[in-house]
Amino acid sequence: MSRVLVIATGGTIASTPERDGLAPTLTGRELAERVPLLDTLCELDFVQPMNIDSTNMRPRDWLRIASVVRDSYDRYDGFVVLHGTDTMAYTAAALSYLVQDSEKPIVLTGSQQPMANPFTDAKLNLYHSVLYACDPASCDVSVVFGGEVICGTRARKQRTMSFNAFTSMNFPPLAYVRGERVVRATGVAQAEKDGRAPRFYDALDDRVIVLKLTPELRPSIFELLASDYDAVILETFGIGGIPAYDGAYQRAIYDWVESGRTLVVTTQVPEEGLDLGVYEVGRAYADRCGILRGDDMTTEALVAKTMWALGQTRDPAEVARLFYQPVNNDRSAR
C-alpha cells in the first residue's frame, strides 16, 4: 500500500468562522478525517509546518515546504500539500524549481469553500489529490483541483468563487480525475521515470517585483525600485509593447540592467505569450544582455523562477542559462 505525506499549510480548506471572518484552524489530520474513504486509498501521515491564510504565504514558507519534502522524500511514495487558493499557483511554481526531476508526485490542492461548509468542494479535491498521488505514473509538482491535474508551473487562479478555480495557461492539463480513475491526457509529454534522484535547492532571492505597465506610468519608477529589488518582472502591453516616451523607458531599462540587476519581460495578456521582435516598440529589448524573455510562461512561474535563478548565482550569463532551461513544462520550445 502506498504511503503519502499530507503537508497541511492552512488556507480556506482548513478555515472556520472566527470573530473577524474565516481563518485557518483545522489540522491536516482533522481535514482527512472528514473525507469518506480517503484512508482506503493509501497509508497517510500528516505534518503541519504552518497554518496560515495563503495571502500570508512568503518565499521563506516555500523553502519550509520544500525542506519537509526533502527530509521525508525517501519514506513516502507521494506528497499532498494542502494550501489556500489565492497564492497556490506561486507555491506550485516555486516547488517546481526547488524540487526538480521528482519521480514522486508533489500535489497541491485546496478548496473554494471550507471543509465544514455543507456544499464544499474540499472533500472531492482532497480525495482526488490523494488518488493522483497514489497513481504510479504520477510525478513532479502539480495542482489537482476541480477534477483537473495542472502542471505546477502552468496553474493560475482564474475564478474567485467557482469550483473550477484554476486554469492551465498555455499548456494542456496533464490529466483528469473521473470517479476513481486518473485519465491521462493524450499527446502531453510527461517525465519519464528513470531512477534519477531529485534535485533539491534551498536558496531564493525574494527581492523580485512584478511591474505592470499602464498608460503614463513614469519610467522613473525604476529608480525608486532600485534600492529594494534585484529583478523586475515587467508586464508589457500586448505581445511585448513598451512605450517609447522619447526614449525615457529605454534609458531607464538599460540603466537598470547595466547596474547588474535583472529584467524579465512578459505580457499582461494571459494567453499565447510574448514576442519582442514583432513591433518597433519591443524590438529594442529583444536581444539586450540582462533582459530575459518570459515567452509563454505565467507571471507566477516567472516570479518563482527568477527568485530561484538569482538564489543560485549572480552571474548574468548563468542566470540566463538557468532561466531559459525548461523545468516542469514551464515554457514552450521557441
If 0-12 CB within 10 Å is exposed, 13-18 middle and 19+ buried, where does residue 37 land? exposed
Helix (H, G, I), strand (E, B) or coil at 299: helix
Long-range contacts of 29-37 (CB under 8 A, 24+ apart): 31/82, 31/115, 31/122, 31/126, 32/6, 32/126, 34/115, 34/123, 35/122, 35/123, 35/126, 35/127, 36/123, 37/127
Residue 85 annotated to the active site: yes
For residue 290, give the nearest of 213, 333, 231, 225 by alpha carbon.
231
CA distances to 162, 239, 253, 274 from 243, rounded to whole Å, are 36, 13, 12, 16
The answer to whether the Cα torsion of 134, 72, 310, 237 is positive or negative is positive
25, three cell numbers? 484552524
Catalytic pick from 9, 12, 91, 262? 12
Q: Where do we find the cell 503541519?
A: 48
Catalytic pick from 27, 85, 153, 262? 85
Residue 236 annotated to the active site: no
Distance between CA atoms of residues 146 and 133, nearest Å = 15
Distance between CA atoms of residues 94 and 87, nearest Å = 11
Q: What angle do CA 214, 220, 224 make, to 5 degrees?
A: 105
For residue 145, give the nearest of 121, 117, 180, 169 by alpha carbon.
121
According to DSSP, the residues that pair with 177 across neighbouring strands are 182
Give me the active site residues, please: 12, 85
